[in-house]
Amino acid sequence: MPPLPYAENALEPVISAQTVSFHYGKHHRGYFDNLAKLTPNTPFAGQSLEALIVATYGVPEHEAVFNNAAQAWNHNFYWQSLSPSPTRPSEALNAAIVRDFGSVDQLTSKLAAVSASQFGSGWGWLVAQHGKLAVIKTGNADTPLAHGLVPLLTVDVWEHAYYLQYQNRRPEYLEHVTAKLINWDFASTNFARMSA
């Protein structure tokens, strides 16, 4: 389980230190702890999260491994998708955003709206496929990796990501996160890696 890329209070006031502490220290850690119990003495022992996700997606008898590996990976990606300091998309990513969404503001508004519309638990994503950008949502532990898409950034819409602070105001949480905390440096690096 990788360390947080910033202090627990670094995302305040948008995401409280208490929320980060519970989210990272209990929920995120729980997925790694579960994997540590599920994979020893199996063909999955020692495999990367990405390999586990690909090998177990859609296989009913390995659903628990998939759910925990995907949630562990999704959370690793989520913490990297947030930045306590303002960032901007690279020139290349910005050009793709303008081409596919009109502007960064239009993209973040769409990301917030699509993520808010996820029924129940899940994730909102900016992804790339065949050189085009798209905003999608996935339910529960599902992840773009399982569908051949390249994730650039994500926002978490499981209740544990916001409930301590925002209660049932998921759209408000998403509006603040997408407007103030998106790590465009991380998204730009992912976009450049895909384009290389």
State the pTM of this model. 0.95
Q: Which of 53, 81, 109 is the last residue of a domain?
A: 81
Q: Both 96 and 191 in a single domain?
A: yes
25 domain residue, yes or no: yes
CATH number for position 134 = 3.55.40.20
End-of-domain residue from the set 52, 81, 110: 81
Whole-number pLDDT of residue 178: 97
Together in a domain, 40 and 95: no
Residue at 109 is within a domain: yes
Query: Which residue, of 35, 51, 81, is where some domain finishes?
Result: 81
Domains of the chain: total: 2
Question: How buried is residue 56: exposed, middle or buried, by Cβ count under 10 Å (0-12/13-18/19+)?
Answer: buried
Distance CA 183, CA 164 (A): 23
Same domain, 173 and 102: yes
Give domain status of residue 9, yes or no: no
CB 141 within 8 A of CB 74: yes
Which pLDDT value is given to residue 76?
97
DSSP class per residue in 109-124: HHHHHHHHT--SSEEE
> Which range of residues forms the domain containing residue 162?
91-195
Q: Which of 24, 26, 34 is nearest to 2 (CA)?
A: 24
User: d(Cα 66, Cα 59) in Å, to the nearest integer?
Assistant: 8
Which stretches of the chain drop beneath a pLDDT of 50? none
Peptide bond into 144 cis (omega under 30): no
Inside any domain, residue 175: yes
